[in-house]
Amino acid sequence: MLLFLINQIEEGEEMPLLFGTAKFNEQKHLTIGGCDTVALAEKYGTPLFVYDVEHIRQRARGFKQTFNSLGVKNKVIYASKAFCCLAMYKLLEEEELGCDVVSAGEIYTAIKGGMSPENIEFHGNNKTSEELAFAVDQGVGTIIIDNFYEIDLLSAILEEKGKKQEVMFRITPGVDAETHDYILTGQVDSKFGFDVASGQATDALERILADEHLVLKGAHCHIGSQIFSAEGFLAAVEKMLLILNEWKQSFGYSVDVLNMGGGFGVQYTKADDPLEPEAFVKAIVNAVTGQCELLDYSFPEIWIEPGRSIIAEAGTTIYTVGSQKSIPGVRHYVAVDGGMGDNIRPALYDAQYDGFLANRISAEPSEEVRIVGKYCESGDVLIKGIELPPVQAGDLFAITSTGAYGYSMANNYNRNLKPAVVFVENGEDRLAIRRESFEDLIALDCQ
């Protein structure tokens, strides 16, 4: 039956892009992690985020095991901002990943979720003194210093508490991931980190080394996001090691850790063609090996911070189709029961997504439609143009690869409720985040 169905699809139109354990069953329903999404929609309502736990594990292991198989000391540190909740931190602990956080709220959630504080790395270009004090009190493993203000602030907090803190510092090496070139604008013109070209990074190094409260582990850079090829990382490794080697010559300081950040690309649509996690790791390790040999620099531990590449493709959003508006000769709009409140990326930066009917995959003749949400903004568009068979109210529409920067950027615009999030694995479903209620919605309001 499944084979017949696939043959039928191939004659009519292309098979949709499916990730991880996603497939279609005999009822022509989308299943993920062995769970029928039609049944999940009935059980939990829509919009619903469905996360394929096996796919998350595979991605995590793809990074981790490649480093291990190459015999390279490493830390794979998941970037919480892509998506986090208690259940996610539990999963990260199981897979022996650390996490990076960018607020006290993320630190709090990570620790509540069972993440060991020493495996937490604290980032941010404007950490408040309260947040830094909280991080120190909680025993956060590494604070990534981003600017001169933070050196003084953190040092004063540590002085008062009589503590020392392991830190790294973020530098902007001036590599543009898009052009794979060293350039002087672009990455240099960033609100994050210490600039290399103007000498700020070297000043920062001297000040951190001179500070008795700060224990410097190494240097960090993050060159961009949704990067498809290894070249940007290779250029960054080369540039970082040149800088590190200069510091070794001038100050006799060598890093223990080189942190290459995140930004590994994923597939949102068929047009996207990123490398596999394994290939990124191999390329980075090769480049570090080459540069260290060339410069006679001792091989550092390598840390990376993948966010999107661990969680994006594992997530699928299931919506219910409601109203439609067809303007003859102009456009056919299909509205779903979510939108920019659960996925602001298309409205925010014109992000592209793929989707299909989850309750009846079909090869019927299709028409181009625009998938819009229910929010009071004309910009509330999820997919600008997609070929779909005739759609009816009550159909389930799935948008794939919504796992990163979807729920984590969710909001209550129009006082719509945030969706539920369900984790599926081996035919079992469990609620990771319950759907918001009206009571939740007014919980902060005062009368």
Catalytic residues: 376
By the rule CB under 6 A, 106 interacts with ligand PLP: no
In the annotated binding site for pyridoxal 5'-phosphate, the residues are 263, 305-308, 405
> 221 or 421, CB closer to ligand PLP?
221
Distance CA 269, CA 279 (A): 20
Stretch that binds ligand PLP, among 67-75, 78-86, 283-291, 354-362 (CB under 6 A): 78-86
Stretch that binds ligand PLP, among 104-112, 260-268, 347-355, 418-426 (CB under 6 A): 260-268
Intra-chain end-to-end CA distance of the chain, in Å: 59
By the rule CB under 6 A, 81 interacts with ligand PLP: yes
- The answer to whether the CB of 92 falls within 8 A of the CB of 114 is no
The residue written with tokens 């850790």 in the block is: 257
By the rule CB under 6 A, 147 interacts with ligand PLP: no
By the rule CB under 6 A, 268 interacts with ligand PLP: no
What minimum distance in Å lies between the beta carbon of 72 and ligand PLP? 19
Name, in order, each residue with C-beta under 8 angstroms of 322's C-beta and a sequence gap of 6 or more: 335, 336, 337, 374, 393
Which segments within 344-437 are labelled E, that is strand?
355-357, 367-372, 381-388, 396-400, 420-425, 428-433
By the rule CB under 6 A, 306 interacts with ligand PLP: yes
Distance CA 83, CA 56 (A): 12
Distance CA 174, CA 19 (A): 34
By the rule CB under 6 A, 222 interacts with ligand PLP: yes
By the rule CB under 6 A, 263 interacts with ligand PLP: yes
What minimum distance in Å lies between the beta carbon of 168 and ligand PLP? 11
By the rule CB under 6 A, 309 interacts with ligand PLP: yes
By the rule CB under 6 A, 266 interacts with ligand PLP: no
What minimum distance in Å lies between the beta carbon of 193 and ligand PLP? 9
By the rule CB under 6 A, 406 interacts with ligand PLP: no
Q: How many CB atoms lie within 10 A of CB 252?
A: 8
What minimum distance in Å lies between the beta carbon of 309 and ligand PLP? 6
3-state secondary structure of 4: helix
What minimum distance in Å lies between the beta carbon of 370 and ligand PLP? 27
> 225 or 291, CB closer to ligand PLP?
225
Q: How many CB atoms lie within 10 A of CB 1?
A: 10
> 263 or 373, CB closer to ligand PLP?
263
What minimum distance in Å lies between the beta carbon of 34 and ligand PLP? 27
Count of H-run helices and E-run strands, the chain: 13, 23
By the rule CB under 6 A, 373 interacts with ligand PLP: no
- H helices of 139-276, in order, are 148-161, 200-210, 231-251
By the rule CB under 6 A, 21 interacts with ligand PLP: no
Residue nearest to ligand PLP (CB): 307
Cα distances (Å, whole numbers) of residue 96 to 57, 74, 93: 10, 11, 5
By the rule CB under 6 A, 173 interacts with ligand PLP: no
Answer for which of 38, 56, 76, 79 binds ligand PLP (CB under 6 A) is 79
Distance CA 43, CA 41 (A): 5
- The answer to whether the CB of 5 falls within 8 A of the CB of 24 is yes
Residues forming contacts to ligand PLP in the complex (CB under 6 A) are 79, 81-82, 100, 123, 222, 225, 261-264, 305-309, 404
